[in-house]
Structure 1
Amino acid sequence: MKKVYIVAIFLVTTIGMSACNSKQSNQIVKESSKNSQSSKSSLPIQSASSTPQSSSIIKESSLSIGKSISPSTSMQIRKWNPEKNQRLSEFMSAWGIEMGQSYSQYNPNHNLNLYGLSIPWSVIDNNSTWKAAIDNQPIELKWSETGEDTGGYQLVDVYSDVNEKNSGVNHVYLFVIKAGNPIVLYTAQNQGNANNYLYLKETKNNELKTAFARIVE
């Protein structure tokens, strides 16, 4: 009887341990499966979070390239250039015919003799004691090939009918650009003065002002 009791206890213990081990094994399998699923489900989240960063990097790179290939200042259209010079020449020829006048072009290498004064050479870049003046105030007049130099009035062209056989008053037009703005200055001066000023004023001819402005722009 005692032996039977011992055997019964052994069987119960063995079955209990087997059931416990089986339960632990099932738990381990479930946890392993859960961790595996958790690991798999986290991958799309990481991938999604990396996509905006990649897009941001691409956009920034594109912007950087765009800036690097943008036109430089030297490539931009200048306020004055040979093409615009030619356009003004064509306009002055046609406009002169319309006005019953004939105009010639002048520059520092081909000056107008205005009653002994060389225009523009004598009134630009402090080349002589003479000064260009507006409203009785001397101005800084510079010869410019581009109209984009800093400071003062940038003189880009000169036209006059002084040496032509015109009836009435002769004209001298100085085409200048000041701070990017086109201005047509005019003088009909025919004598000197104590200040050695060449007196200038803005022309009142709207057709001439409008034409020059359009050419500069």
Structure 2
Amino acid sequence: MEVLAIASLGVALTGCGNQSTQSSSNTTKTNSEASTNQNTTNNNTSSSESHHDSSLWNNQKDEQLASFMQKWGPTMHQSYEQYDGQNELKVSTGITYPDGLSKELVEGQSGLIGWAPSGKGDYEYNVVAIYNHDGTEPPLPNRITYFFAFHNGKPVVLVDQSNNGDPDCHPTTNTDLESNFERIANQ
């Protein structure tokens, strides 16, 4: 009887695996199908695995990023203020975040970026953390604002250093920042 139950479980799990690879062309659909399949077909999944599938970002990762930024900022001779998820983050150019994300362009295109604390949202770039450094050296105002986000489920760091006109961000060229966010996000 045990052998039959184990064999049936193996066939069921193989079927689930095939189903998920067949629909991999649509990432959003695959993720919600995977969550639905996992919850309905396998109730023995540990809570950490279940949490990992339901959210790309969590408080523990947010704390790790905060710790990294506290160490990294001084290496760049800068200090960064974090958007805490409740109180608006005002930058020296007068923009406040997260509301300012609605005006933020991504490489010249509007409507692509927004606040999504879980990493999953309705945007091309779902922002999970915002850090800002306001410069004190002329020309003023100047700022460096980093948006830690997920794009198609993958971690990406965008930066905005615009000081007049429309806020416009682009992927950072700082490989240290990018690789550490990716490391934290993939834990």
TM-score calculated relative to the size of structure 1: 0.60
Match of 1:213 in 2: 182
Based on CA coordinates, which of the two structures has the bigger radius of gyration?
1
Change in 2 beyond 3 A, CA 1:106/1:166: farther
TM-score calculated relative to the size of structure 2: 0.69
Structure 1 CA distance, aligned partners of 2:73 and 2:2?
Answer: 62
Change in 2 beyond 3 A, CA 1:200/1:144: same
Give 2:109's aligned amino acid: Q
Structure 1 CA distance, aligned partners of 2:62 and 2:127?
Answer: 12
Match of 1:69 in 2: 44
**Greater share of residues in helix:** 1
Match of 2:168 in 1: 199
Change in 2 beyond 3 A, CA 1:67/1:82: closer
Gaps of 5+ in 1: 1-53, 125-130
Gaps of 5+ in 2: 14-40
Please state how far the C-alpha of 1:109 moved relative to its aligned partner: 2.4
Match of 2:99 in 1: 121
Per-residue CA deviation, residues 125-167 of structure 1 (Å, 9 max, x unaligned), is: xxxxxx22122111322211211235421110111111x6568
Structure 2 CA distance, aligned partners of 1:82 and 1:93?
Answer: 16
Change in 2 beyond 3 A, CA 1:132/1:68: same
Change in 2 beyond 3 A, CA 1:68/1:111: closer
Match of 2:87 in 1: 110
Structure 2 CA distance, aligned partners of 1:89 and 1:72?
Answer: 24
* 1:148 and 2:120 aligned: yes
Structure 1 CA distance, aligned partners of 2:83 and 2:99?
Answer: 10
Structure 1 CA distance, aligned partners of 2:42 and 2:110?
Answer: 43
- The total of aligned residue pairs comes to 153
* 1:188 and 2:161 aligned: yes
Match of 1:44 in 2: none
Stretch of structure 1 that moved more, 104-113 or 77-86 = 104-113
Match of 2:108 in 1: 136
Change in 2 beyond 3 A, CA 1:137/1:91: same
- Matched-pair identity in %: 26
